[in-house]
Structure 1
Amino acid sequence: MTPSLLDRHADNFARLAGLPADEREAAIAALTLDEDERELLRRLLEADADAADDPLAQALAASASAQLAALEWIGRLGAYRLLRELGAGGMGTVFLAERVDGGFSQRVAIKLLRGFPTSEALRRLRRERQILSGLEHPNIARLLDGGETADGQPWLAIEFVDGMPLLAHAAAHAPHLGDRLALFDAILDAVAHAHQRLVVHRDLKPANVLVDSAGTVKLLDFGIAMLLDVDGDAAGRATSTRVYSAGYASPEQREGRTITTASDIYSLGVLLGELVADATRARPDAELAGILAKARDADPARRYASAGAFRDDLERYRDGRPVQAARMTRRYRLRKFVGRHRSGVAMALTAVLALGLGVWRLGHERNRAIEAEVAASRDADRARAALAFLTDAFEAAAPDNALGPSVSVRDLLDHARARLAARKLDASVAQPLQRLLGNLYDELGDPLTGAELLALGSANVEVHDAAEALALARDHD
């Protein structure tokens, strides 16, 4: 098989090799290939699955072994001596190595191509070296050195991270949701750094994130990352290679459409879902579910606009503030505000309850006094009765008298409601109080009790002017 033919099928092979057998055939059928090429791809995949008997697989293994043997015979690669293999992926093999000159010792991870070095694989490794050289971030594994072997094969020396994969570290050392969100915050910060430098990772998954013994997150493997050409022709970058990890790739990646930073946002949403699953299974969280849904939206335009925006929303979630992924209703904002300032809101609502009633009644009295002295006198009597009731109710509910060392807004409302039901006040006094309490219950998140009180306070009410009619209409609504 010629190298050019290998180049043509390298991307499809790397993607299909990671799929289950039942999905692989459907994926092969969907490719734009003639029947001979499909059959060739099937044979390559079968050979990869049965390395013991297939001559092609044996040749690939022999090539990798010969490459390692040659390096061992040489004794070192550049300034480094290879110690052992750390792992292998679809494109390269990573070795643990140590520096053997320069007057100091240092352990690094050396990445080399494995198997036949196709032109596409060579291009990717050189591009990874170019990308890493421009990224300097505490949560991204640093590029330390690089070069090419005598036969022109590029290699990278990357910061060696002695740590655990992300999910394993979370299971062992981060049982709580807050701890896991802190790990993810570091990942978002690293991705934001890459995006600011026009680099899209395109393969974000738990296996590409390690956490060292100090708890520091390190993002790895920019092997299929893409440099965005913001000034170039969009059509030229719209159909890049379809190498991706099944389960983490965005819909546009899987379908070969334009790849942007939004593709990384989707992968981050999938990664976050796996990271927090164990920590949130016991208590479903609607706000966190909304954040995940926004990040993993099938439409790139509806996802978070950037890794920074994603990070800001998670920070709001941790702080108890309204998140952008939720519907910004008045009740939602009120609930989040009350949750952050419980004691202050209780005091403020108590004051507003008394002040609001007083202002409302005083305004009403002023208008009625202009119309007629008799009507003003009658309403003044009602106001005094209402004020006397509220004074009596709040005084009886004071901590020294009834409800213990602290009093919540709900306690005050419940106490006032009970006393209002027990006392035989004139309807002209009782009904405005019922409507006021009904509105306050609704704002406090108890619409059923609020509706009951509003119904009682609005039944057979006689209005005397336009202002009373409008107020009553609002309460009916």
Structure 2
Amino acid sequence: MLKAPPARASRRHAYAVTAYVEGATLEQWAHQQQETDLVAVRSIVKQIASGLQALHRREIVHRDLRPANVIIDGEGTATIIDFGSAQVAGLDEIAGPVSDAMFAGTMQFTAPEIWLGQPATRWSDLWSLGAMAYYMLTRELPYGPRLSNATTRAAQGRLVYVPASERNPDVPAWVDAAIARAVAVDPAKRYGELSEFIHDLTHPNTALFAPEQRPWLARRPERLWQAISALLALALAASLLTREGQADRPQPSKIQTEETAR
């Protein structure tokens, strides 16, 4: 998490000095990735979860967890920043109304229950972390852009999770299943602990999914077209070689042809 140096004197101003963190936002990092790197994604999610666990032990909910509020440095270290929307237990009088959690910016990473006007909980942070994991793997959102308009239970009941593996075939089904549980619309259907989510991101939990026996073609449709293209290229090359061989072959002379005819 973002660190702040200890105060050298009594505070008289409504601002704080924090350490400078060099790097790119998680949003920038995700768009810079050319290939799916599950190891890197797991590492980042685990680091963010560790920071959230430290906050939750102090009864603090971040409430504003999104790609723009995480910095990734050159060594892959993740740092959570911006605690302006954090909710501290026992300080409701200064925490602001629930509507304050609907901050300007990328609100699609806000947990569904907050859109219903319910207070944020540590399961809300879990949802945001799951949505960020989904975003890193697909550059998309688990429920598309419709979540921010789903401000009633009925509307949220119509939301449909789009499997990450459909948007990115490189995402294993069991990783997708773990993310799907983390971003469940109903908080009661999510993981009870962040540690459970992290475990299922690294160890297949067969209780969440049935091992899929999809045909190879369904999992790798692009490989079919690559194979077809390769076969067509080979066929074309063989055809050209055959024609060249026929052109180089000596043609029988007219005399030989007449003698053969006799």
Please give the TM-score of this superposition, normalised by the length of structure 1. 0.34
Contact 1:204–1:248 (Cα < 8 Å) also in 2: yes
Aligned-residue offset at 1:249? 0.9
Deviations along 1:176-229, whole A, 9 cap, x unmatched? Answer: 222222222111111122112211100010000001122211111111111234
What is the distance in 1 between the residues matched to 2:207 and 2:85? 31
Say if 2:177 is the partner of 1:290. yes
Q: Say if 1:146 and 1:157, in contact at 8 Å, map to a contact too.
A: no
- Aligned counterpart in structure 2 of residue 301 of structure 1, from 185, 188, 204: 188
| Residues 310 and 285 of structure 1: CA distance in aligned 2, closer, same or farther (over 3 Å) | same
Q: How does 1:215-234 map to 2 (within 5 A)?
A: 215-229=76-90
Change (3 A) 1:166 1:284: closer
Report the equivalent of 1:199.
60
Alpha-carbon distance between aligned partners in 2 of 1:284 and 1:303, rounded to the nearest angstrom: 20
Q: Secondary structure at the match of 1:157?
A: coil
After superposition, the Cα gap between the structure-2 partners of 1:217 and 1:323, relative to the gap in structure 1 and judged at 3 Å, is farther
1:157, distance to aligned residue in structure 2 (A): 0.9
Deviation at 1:323, TM superposition (A): 4.9
Residue 183 and residue 174 in structure 1: after superposition, are their counterparts in 2 closer, same or farther (change >3 A)? farther
In the other structure, the counterpart of 2:226 is none
**Which of 156, 164, 168 pairs up with 2:24?**
164
Deviation at 1:174, TM superposition (A): 7.7
Give the aligned residue type for 1:168.
Q
Matches within 5 A, 1:50-199: 140-145=1-6, 153-172=13-32, 175=35, 176-199=37-60
Aligned length: 180
Percentage of pairs with the same residue: 26
> In proportion to residue count, which structure has more strand?
1
Conserved in 1, the CA contact under 8 Å of 2:130 and 2:179? yes
Q: Which residues of structure 2 form unaligned runs of 5+?
A: 140-163, 214-262
Note the alpha carbon deviations across 1:92-113, whole angstroms, 9 max, x for none: xxxxxxxxxxxxxxxxxxxxxx
- SS of the aligned residue for 1:218 comes to strand
Greater Rg, structure 1 or structure 2? 1
Q: Are 2:85 and 2:100, in contact at CA under 8 Å, matched by a contact in 1? A: no
Tell me if the contact between 1:238 and 1:258 (Cα under 8 Å) persists in the aligned partners.
no
Kept in 2, the 8 Å contact 1:208–1:219? The answer is: yes
Change (3 A) 1:282 1:313: closer
Superposed CA offset, 1:114-171 (max 9, x none): xxxxxxxxxxxxxxxxxxxxxxxxxx11121459999x54111111101111132244
**What's the counterpart of residue 75 of structure 2?**
214
Alpha-carbon contact 2:175-2:200 (below 8 Å) kept = no
CA contact (8 A) 1:287 1:326 kept: yes
Q: Which has the higher contact order (CA 8 A, sep 6+)?
A: 2
Give 3-state SS (helix, strand or coil) of 2:72's partner: strand
Q: d(CA) in 2 for partners of 1:304 and 1:147?
A: 41
Structure richer in helix, relative to its length = 1
Please list the CA deviations of residues 350-369 of structure 1 after superposition, one character each: whole Å capped at 9, or x if unmatched: xxxxxxxxxxxxxxxxxxxx
Q: Which runs of 5+ in 1 are unaligned?
A: 1-139, 336-477
The alpha-carbon distance between structure 1 residues 285 and 214, as it changes in their structure 2 partners (threshold 3 A), is closer
3-state SS of paired residue (1:262): helix
- Which aligned pairs between 1:76-475 and structure 2 lie closer than 5 A? 140-145=1-6, 153-172=13-32, 175=35, 176-229=37-90, 240-244=98-102, 245-277=106-138, 281-283=168-170, 285-317=172-204, 322-326=205-209
How far residue 298 of structure 1 moved from its aligned partner, in angstroms, is: 1.2
Q: How much is the aligned-residue C-alpha RMSD, in angstroms?
A: 3.2
Q: Is the 8 A contact 1:143 1:158 kept in 2?
A: yes
Q: Name the amino acid aligned to 1:155.
A: Y
Q: Return structure 1 stretches of 4+ with deviation > 6 angstroms.
A: 147-150
CA-to-aligned-CA distance 1:408-458 (integer Å, 9 cap, x gap): xxxxxxxxxxxxxxxxxxxxxxxxxxxxxxxxxxxxxxxxxxxxxxxxxxx
Q: Partners of 1:263 and 1:146 in 2: how far apart?
A: 31
Distance in 2 (CA, whole Å) between partners of 1:282 and 1:214 is 27
Q: Quick one: distance in 1 between partners of 2:133 and 2:200?
A: 13
Amino acid at match of 1:298: V
- Counterpart residue number, 1:79: none
Contact between 1:145 and 1:156, CA under 8 Å: does it hold in 2?
Answer: no
Distance of aligned partners of 1:292 and 1:190 in 2 relative to their CA distance in 1, 3 Å threshold: same
Which amino acid in structure 2 is aligned with residue 181 of structure 1? R
Q: Secondary structure at the match of 1:210?
A: strand
The offset of 1:301, in angstroms, is 0.8
- Following superposition, the deviation at residue 255 of structure 1 comes to 1.7
Cα pair 1:148 1:154 within 8 Å, conserved: no
Where 2:126 maps in the other structure, the secondary structure is: helix
Aligned to 1:53: none
